[in-house]
Amino acid sequence: MERAKRKTSPVKKKTPSGKLRTKSEILAALDEMEFNGPALVSAAQGLADALTGRKKVTLRTFHVSAQPELQPKDIAAIRDKLNVSQAVFAAYLGVRPASVMSWEYGTRRPSGAARKLLFIARKNPKILVEA
């Protein structure tokens, strides 16, 4: 008797949130990441461990580097790429227009989540519009 061939489905993994992802989606996500040297090895190992459920990703196992300071001209350049006013840019970021103004004039510096969001926006400004 001849055995019927079984169809193989793509390998599925659970993310830490419990959502299933295919192997190709995981590889695509890894392709989008930009790391170098030891950070790449550490990030890949932490991600692999988290996806297989072996190890939880924590700050002990995964190093998050601090973002460098943004100069006022850098913040203005991000806003110029979007071709929006300071008020609209502030609305995209979820901050007050006075905050954007003070960042661009150099009287204050963005910190925490605002700085991280500015770095993401610098890489892909349209993401602010789509979010």
Instruction: Judge whether 119 lies within some domain.
Output: yes
Expressed as residue numbers, the domain containing 38 is 12-52
Residue 45 is assigned to a structural domain of this protein? yes
Secondary structure class of 21 (helix, strand, coil): strand
CATH, residue 100: 1.10.260
Residues whose CB is less than 8 angstroms from the CB of residue 19 and which lie 6 or more positions away in sequence, other chains included = none
Query: In this structure, are 79 and 120 located in the same domain?
Result: yes
Helix, strand, coil shares of the chain as percentages rounded to 5?
A: 55, 5, 40
Query: What is the band of 90 on the pLDDT scale with cuts at 50, 70, 90?
Result: very high
Q: Which pLDDT value is given to residue 13?
A: 55
What's the rounded Cα separation, in Å, for the pair 5 and 78?
55
Residue-averaged pLDDT of the chain: 77
- Per-residue pLDDT band for 3 (boundaries 50, 70, 90) equals low
- Mean pLDDT throughout 113-125? 89
Number of domains in the chain: 2
Whether 83 maps to a domain, the answer reads: yes
The answer to whether residues 45 and 77 belong to one domain is no
pTM of this structure = 0.53
Angle of helix 72-82 relative to helix 86-93, nearest 10 degrees, comes to 90
At 71, the amino acid letter reads Q
Q: Report if residue 36 sits inside a domain.
A: yes
Check pLDDT > 70 for residue 57. no
Identify whether 67 is part of a domain. Answer: no
Amino acid identity at 99: S
